[in-house]
Amino acid sequence: MQNQMNFINIISKLLIFAINLITNINQQKSYVQTNNILIMLIQLLFQYISLYKIVTTLSKYIIFFRSEVETLKIRYLIILYNLILAHQIRILKLKRIEINITFCQSMDKQ
């Protein structure tokens, strides 16, 4: 359990780092690369932890975004949250379709 929490914290910090890079105006050339890093980190999160843990961990960081300049980072967190939610819903729909197909196939065999 402790290892999982450490993992969540490390990935969350890496996400915040990626968000910092994206919001940095001087880093225009590395925008695509940073975006890819962000996507990879999100995929890692999906593999290891639940939506609830991702959101609660990330929401802790919003508290530290105090200046007006850093409101962009909050926007990125909201976008990230929406991406995570959309991804989780898509996975649930796919699993439901798989279950339906399996059920139909088993009914056909009977």
Q: What would the pLDDT profile of 71-104 be if each residue is shown by its tens digit? A: 555 666 666 666 666 665 665 565 665 555 555 5
Give all strands (DSSP E) within the chain, no chain letters: none
Select the more confidently predicted residue: 66 or 80: 80
**How far is C-alpha 85 from the chain's CA centre?**
8
DSSP run (H or E) holding 64:
none
Over the chain, what is the mean pLDDT? Answer: 60
Q: Return the pLDDT at 39.
A: 64
Whether pTM > 0.75 for this model: the answer is: no
Helix (H, G, I), strand (E, B) or coil at 47: helix
Q: Return the pLDDT at 65.
A: 47
Q: Is the pLDDT of residue 107 over 60?
A: no
Of 74, 72, 43, the C-alpha closest to 58 is: 74
Q: Which residue's entry shows tokens 């359990």?
A: 1
- Work out whether the CA dihedral 22, 84, 70, 4 comes out positive or negative: negative
